[in-house]
Amino acid sequence: MSTTPDKKFAELILYISDRSELDPYFGATKLNKILFFSELSFFAKHERGITEQEYIKRDFGPVPRDMSATLKQLQVEKALAVKEIDFEGYKQKKPLALRKADLSLFSAEEIDVVNRVIDKLRNHTATDVSELSHQTVGWELAKFGEVIPLSTVLISNRPLTEKQEAFAKTLRSN
C-alpha cells in the first residue's frame, strides 16, 4: 500500500502515544526521542528510516522537522490531544491518542523496532532520553538547527583499539 510520508509519520505518532499512555515520563520531549531512536535503530539495519522525517538538532535533542505541523493536524482531525500537566515540578505536554493508529502502513519489523525502543526507554525521564540522544554521533556532528543524518548511526565514536591504530599508521606511511 502506497502512503504519503506525512501520513505514516502521523500514524507513528499516534501509535507511540497510545503505547506510552501509561508511562508517567511520556511527554512531547520523550515522543521526539522515541521517534528518533526508532528511526536510527531501523536505519542501522536497513539503511532507511521508518518514515521520511528529517531530525533537526535542537536544545533538548533531535526533533522531527514536521513535528509541530503534524501534531496540529492530528489535533484538528481530533486524532490526538495534547494535555498539559504538572509533573515533578515541570509542565509536561502529554500527547494522547484519541484513536488507534493505522498499522497497515508499517511492516511488522518497523513496529517491532518501535516497540523495543518504547520498552527500553519506558522507565526513563525526558531528561534521561535527551541526554542519551546527545551522545549520538549525529548529535555531536550537527550544528544547532541542522539536519542530523540518520546515516550517522553507522559511524562509531568508540576509541580505536591498539590493533586499529597500528593499521591506521601503516596506511599513513604508504
**Residues 14-33 pLDDT 10s:** 999 999 999 999 999 999 99
Kindly report the CA angle at 2 between 76 and 40, in degrees rounded to 5?
A: 80
Which grid coordinates are listed for 136? 549520538
pLDDT in tens, 97-142: 999 999 999 999 999 999 999 999 999 999 999 999 988 888 888 9
